[in-house]
A and B are shown apart, each in its own frame.
Chain A
């Protein structure tokens, strides 16, 4: 294993932790808004870390660019969808968790 491989492994483990945290949040948090918060972490940071790890191993700059593009698309779509869902939930009067 080269140095890049070790960095990739670290990034993968971190990314895996964020995905795990996202899933745990989805399962354990009490209302829509907090669950939204949890899963956007998996979308943004989790996928971002895994993509960063893979980009280190990519065979060409082009492939790394495509990986980056995929991450940016997920980031953009995730952010917009989270906003739309939260806004609609608030307007529909979904209860906000307080203790």
Chain B
């Protein structure tokens, strides 16, 4: 009864939050609602018995999405005169959708109805009961080199999926760079408390990332969770005024960004030569190979996320500087 009440509350809360976040006319309010949505979503994953996804949601949602969205908001320059009382005024830049012709609206409605119909059909045609592939995964778990079925699927049985995800992250960085690029900013002194916070928390973040990476072999955890925690450490350092050295921003940065995808490709080619199949590890070495891949992927993910944050929030300072002078 109580569990039922909890789940019902969670479900309605999620729907309501999603609606309010999309519907909000104030961008800042929308971001806070989205952060709250992420929190409840993690709870929902927990209730659905998917702790791996909950962990990823926690790491990415709490550590990066919020910070990235806030930095993007600051950069938007949509900050119309923030008055002294600090009343929030971040209106959506164009609250009204551009008035299109009847034809384009009709087309939009048509496309949307088609996609809704498609989704409805997909849900309708789902078998009422299916075990999926979980039996197969359980049967081959011993050969995978790890004890956690999720890690086994992500890094062994369908390693190429993870490889492509690493490339997606790389593309995201390229996309952000092509929009503005990376500008060097001087280090800036910050409040003493913030400095203490980042100094104390950074080692804990690194430790937690290492823990998540290691525990991923047998329990929820792994490269994405560890990478996001490590990336959040980078974000915290960047927020505390730390800037990477210029020398590090050249080839070491590029190497770190591509390490994960590169390792996948190299190992894939190696296994193609030795085992005649892309990313099929020899059973005896599988555990070690997965750990190697995950470690490099962790570094890449962390650097990618931190660099995304740096790129999004660079260029903000100059703008707000100008604003303050007037």
The docked-state distance in angstroms from the alpha carbon of A95 to that of B194 is 24
Listed by A's residue number, 6 A-B pairs whose Cβ atoms lie within 8 Å are A73-B204, A76-B200, A80-B196, A87-B191, A93-B86, A94-B84
The docked-state distance in angstroms from the alpha carbon of A92 to that of B194 is 18
Is B191 a contact partner of A84 (Cβ separation < 8 A)?
yes
Is A95 a contact partner of B204 (Cβ separation < 8 A)?
no
Is A80 a contact partner of B193 (Cβ separation < 8 A)?
yes
Flag B236-266 by CB within 8 Å of A: 1 or 0 each.
0000000000000000000000000000000
Which chain B residues lie closer than 8 Å to A73 at the CB level?
204
The docked-state distance in angstroms from the alpha carbon of A23 to that of B196 is 29
Number of interface residues of A (CB under 8 A): 13
User: Does A24 touch B at the CB level, under 8 Å?
Assistant: no
Is A92 a contact partner of B84 (Cβ separation < 8 A)?
yes
User: Does A77 touch B at the CB level, under 8 Å?
Assistant: yes
Residue of A nearest to B200 (CB): A76
A93-B84 contact, Cβ under 8 Å, with A73-B204, A87-B191: yes
Q: Which 10 A-B pairs have the closest CB atoms?
A: A80-B197, A93-B84, A94-B86, A83-B193, A92-B86, A80-B193, A95-B85, A84-B193, A94-B85, A84-B194
Residue of B nearest to A82 (CB): B193
Residues of B in contact with A, size category: 10 to 19
How far does the Cβ of B104 sit from chain A's closest Cβ, in whole Å? 44
Which chain B residues lie closer than 8 Å to A94 at the CB level?
84-86
How far does the Cβ of B74 sit from chain A's closest Cβ, in whole Å? 14
How far does the Cβ of B225 sit from chain A's closest Cβ, in whole Å? 16
User: Does A89 touch B at the CB level, under 8 Å?
Assistant: yes
Which chain A residues lie closer than 8 Å to B200 at the CB level?
76
The docked-state distance in angstroms from the alpha carbon of A98 to that of B191 is 28
Is A89 a contact partner of B193 (Cβ separation < 8 A)?
no
The docked-state distance in angstroms from the alpha carbon of A89 to that of B191 is 14
Flag B172-211 by CB within 8 Å of A: 1 or 0 each.
0000000000000000000101101100110010000000
Residue of B nearest to A89 (CB): B86
- A-contacting residues, B123-177, CB 8 Å: none
Besides A80-B193, A94-B85, 5 more A-B contacts (Cβ < 8 Å) are A87-B191, A92-B84, A93-B84, A94-B84, A94-B86
How far does the Cβ of B136 sit from chain A's closest Cβ, in whole Å? 33
Residue of A nearest to B194 (CB): A84
- B-contacting residues, A35-77, CB 8 Å: 73, 76-77
Which chain A residues lie closer than 8 Å to B84 at the CB level?
92-94
The docked-state distance in angstroms from the alpha carbon of A32 to that of B88 is 13
Which chain B residues lie closer than 8 Å to A89 at the CB level?
86
How far does the Cβ of A30 sit from chain B's closest Cβ, in whole Å? 13
Is B86 a contact partner of A77 (Cβ separation < 8 A)?
no
How far does the Cβ of B315 sit from chain A's closest Cβ, in whole Å? 22
Is B194 a contact partner of A80 (Cβ separation < 8 A)?
yes
The docked-state distance in angstroms from the alpha carbon of A87 to that of B190 is 12
The docked-state distance in angstroms from the alpha carbon of A20 to that of B200 is 31
Flag B81-93 by CB within 8 Å of A: 1 or 0 each.
0001110000000
The docked-state distance in angstroms from the alpha carbon of A1 to that of B201 is 40
The docked-state distance in angstroms from the alpha carbon of A71 to that of B200 is 15
Flag B75-101 by CB within 8 Å of A: 1 or 0 each.
000000000111000000000000000
Which chain A residues lie closer than 8 Å to B201 at the CB level?
76-77
Which chain A residues lie closer than 8 Å to B194 at the CB level?
80, 84
The docked-state distance in angstroms from the alpha carbon of A87 to that of B192 is 12
